[in-house]
Structure 1
């Protein structure tokens, strides 16, 4: 079990858990008691092994047994800019990409996006962030990848300037593979953006705009991948080449 606590709740010797959801999960679902041990992260740099010394309805008090810097957090920061897909595909994308080590996920409205923002998109973002939160607890990462607010394609282009490398998996790119791109780099990037289109792919105008932004057109293989598969595949390949 891994919890995430605000830095203000973590002292030199003790950690206080006051979130009611976490308290209920520890006491009612996991049925943990005094003497049981759990992992705690501050979501920034440190992770702790701690023992429960008191647990009640208001607070869980833990004594710190061990403190280490993140052991399972990638050094490479990869942000997935995902063309918003239909139905529940985004939930699967978030869950699996968090397990694979993504740093952040940004939903993007593109020309061929079918989903329409009717003014209540914040509910989807809340749901997607909860999925990221739960996936992190399962794979025991040190920080929770943030699902950013939805952005139009034009705003995404502005953000891409902040990355050392932009990968643009494109179904019309036949020869230049992601392996060719990553193994041909002069130096290892610290931040990578992966841009994935929605179900209908990129429009010609969007592809041209990404070229102008300096994105590297790459192919992920001979087959055409679904949008919910392409981001995971590109992320896994990038992590393998640059992180592992």
Structure 2
């Protein structure tokens, strides 16, 4: 069944409404759904519903609730990816794949080696990147839509890291301590984690030292140096395997 999202105010005791025009157009024009067809609907917070379409038009789709349950496809661990902003085009790939792997949210970060090509105007990029996230969760049937946050400066990111149970800093110059070492030494199951990935060229020496001085764990992802669009996915997959599976 296809997966769609709605807001709490559209959920009643027995029926659910979908009012997003793009979703409705996708239902009618692409999926060719009709009255009587079944769809999955998530409230993006806690619950997912199995429903059957009662009526549909260009303005609203109404469906009867057949079953309600808590999310079954959402990881317990909420992982935030702080991604050094890469060159054009790579961010969409990063979002698509990390959403599939279970990321909770993605925060673009301006670093010393970020190459800015649009004078720092990211409003349209954020909107486009959020659509990539929206489309990704529908395909893999997750319960939430990971947020693509407004970009931060490196120093702003540093101020947020204290709020995470686990902070991992994969670094190409770290040769001994592996991400497996860091994860298997944990005394308690974390609820939140941050993964910090640099742009092309990695972090500057100054940035790396700043990260080492706070509570982040500097780790290696292996013997090879990964591209920025690969490193976040690899780290996330390792974390999910060790702490979720």
Please classify the TM superposition score into its range, dividing by the shorter chain length: over 0.9
- For 2:191, the equivalent position in structure 1 comes to 190
Once the two structures are superposed, residues 43-71 of structure 1 have per-residue CA deviations (whole angstroms, 9 ceiling, x without a partner) of 00000000001111221110000001000
Q: Which ranges in structure 1 are unaligned for 5 or more consecutive residues?
A: none
TM-score, normalized by length of structure 1? 0.98
Once the two structures are superposed, residues 100-140 of structure 1 have per-residue CA deviations (whole angstroms, 9 ceiling, x without a partner) of 00000000000011124524211000000000000000000
Mapped to 2, the partners of 1:178 and 1:117 lie a distance apart of 35
Secondary structure, in 3 states, of the residue corresponding to 2:235?
helix
Mapped to 1, the partners of 2:166 and 2:121 lie a distance apart of 33
Runs of 4+ in 1 over 3 A off after TM superposition: none
Secondary structure, in 3 states, of the residue corresponding to 1:232?
helix
Mapped to 2, the partners of 1:116 and 1:56 lie a distance apart of 43
Mapped to 2, the partners of 1:188 and 1:50 lie a distance apart of 35
Q: Equivalences for 1:33-112 in 2 at 5 Å?
A: 33-112=34-113
Mapped to 2, the partners of 1:216 and 1:121 lie a distance apart of 30
Mapped to 1, the partners of 2:20 and 2:99 lie a distance apart of 23
Once the two structures are superposed, residues 143-198 of structure 1 have per-residue CA deviations (whole angstroms, 9 ceiling, x without a partner) of 00000000000000001111011100000000100001100111111110000000
Mapped to 1, the partners of 2:244 and 2:159 lie a distance apart of 26
170-179 vs 24-33, which moves further: 24-33
Mapped to 1, the partners of 2:117 and 2:207 lie a distance apart of 19
Secondary structure, in 3 states, of the residue corresponding to 1:167?
strand
Matched, 1:30 2:31: yes
Mapped to 2, the partners of 1:51 and 1:18 lie a distance apart of 16
Secondary structure, in 3 states, of the residue corresponding to 1:217?
strand
Matched, 1:137 2:141: no
Q: Work out the number of aligned pairs and report it.
A: 244
Q: Which ranges in structure 2 are unaligned for 5 or more consecutive residues?
A: none
Mapped to 2, the partners of 1:125 and 1:18 lie a distance apart of 23
Mapped to 1, the partners of 2:134 and 2:11 lie a distance apart of 20
- For 1:150, the equivalent position in structure 2 comes to 151
Once the two structures are superposed, residues 197-240 of structure 1 have per-residue CA deviations (whole angstroms, 9 ceiling, x without a partner) of 00011111101111111110100000000000000000000000
- For 2:169, the equivalent position in structure 1 comes to 168
Secondary structure, in 3 states, of the residue corresponding to 2:162?
helix
- For 2:231, the equivalent position in structure 1 comes to 230
